[in-house]
DNA sequence: CGCAAGATTATT
DNA sequence: ATAATCTTGCGA
């Protein structure tokens, strides 16, 4: 059974941590989530939602458990999952996936391999078995590394990147 | 409407 | 260190 809306409705930092070791299912692919990052709202200058809702960031203010896919640097897609209750902007960026013996380290690489694009934006991951998150391996909190996030210039004080 | 910056990656 | 490549959001 896939993870419910209530799981994603928690604080983004907690969800990001809890997603490590879970299994992402996308079509015929499924892989263990190895790396995530949390992004929040007005308290997080690195977030797309920092300056309030815009056409692009409005998704982060919406229903938890929805996909947020966007194009970065004109060539790579990034997959996020919206978290926290409606009105509380936040999302978790999926940065790493282990598919069998293949390690996809990096949000762009991961989406390229899965053929994941903008057509997969704003999908409810708590409804369809073809695009969802299910239980995976149990990773002890001691084994989860927290560091500052990658590729940003603000909010580096926050240790919101989690890795196995 | 123009423009700079960007949650990246592969290559030099 | 930098090119590739294009959308977004801000300022004018």
CATH architecture of A5-163: Roll (3.10)
Residue spans per domain, chain A: 5-163
Q: Which helix (H) or strand (E) holds A112?
A: helix A107-114
Hits for CB < 7 Å against strand C across A residues 65-124: 70-71, 73-75
Q: Which helix (H) or strand (E) holds A126?
A: none
Contact criterion met (CB below 8 Å) for A141 and A77: no
CA of A2 to C1' of C5 (A): 36
Strand C closer than 7 Å to the CB of A147?
A: no
Span A97-115, pLDDT tens digits: 999 999 999 999 999 999 9
CA A66, A120, A117: angle at the middle one, nearest 5? Answer: 130
pLDDT of residue A1: 82
Span A125-147, pLDDT tens digits: 999 999 999 999 999 999 999 99
Strand C closer than 7 Å to the CB of A42?
A: no
Stated pTM of the model: 0.95
CA of A82 to C1' of C7 (A): 21
Span A15-73, pLDDT tens digits: 999 999 999 999 999 999 999 999 999 899 999 999 999 999 999 999 999 999 999 99
Contact criterion met (CB below 8 Å) for A11 and A91: no
- Distance from the Cα of residue A61 to its chain's centroid: 15
Give chain A's radius of gyration (CA, Å).
Answer: 14
């Amino acid at each position: 059974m896939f993870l419910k809306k209530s799981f994603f409705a928690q604080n983004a930092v907690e969800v990001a941590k809890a997603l490590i070791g879970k299994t992402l299912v996308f079509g015929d692919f499924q892989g263990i989530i190895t790396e995530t990052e949390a992004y929040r709202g007005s308290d997080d200058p690195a977030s797309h939602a920092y300056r309030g809702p815009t056409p692009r960031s409005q998704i982060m203010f919406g229903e938890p458990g929805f996909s947020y896919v966007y194009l970065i640097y004109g060539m790579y897609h990034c997959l996020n999952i919206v978290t926290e209750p409606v009105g509380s902007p936040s999302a978790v960026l999926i940065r790493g996936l282990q598919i069998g013996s293949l390690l996809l380290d990096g949000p762009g690489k991961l989406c390229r391999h899965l053929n994941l694009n903008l057509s997969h934006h704003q999908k409810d991951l708590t409804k369809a078995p073809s695009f969802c998150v299910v239980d995976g391996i149990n990773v002890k909190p001691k084994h989860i590394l927290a560091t500052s996030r990658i590729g940003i210039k603000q909010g580096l004080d926050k240790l919101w990147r989690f890795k196995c």
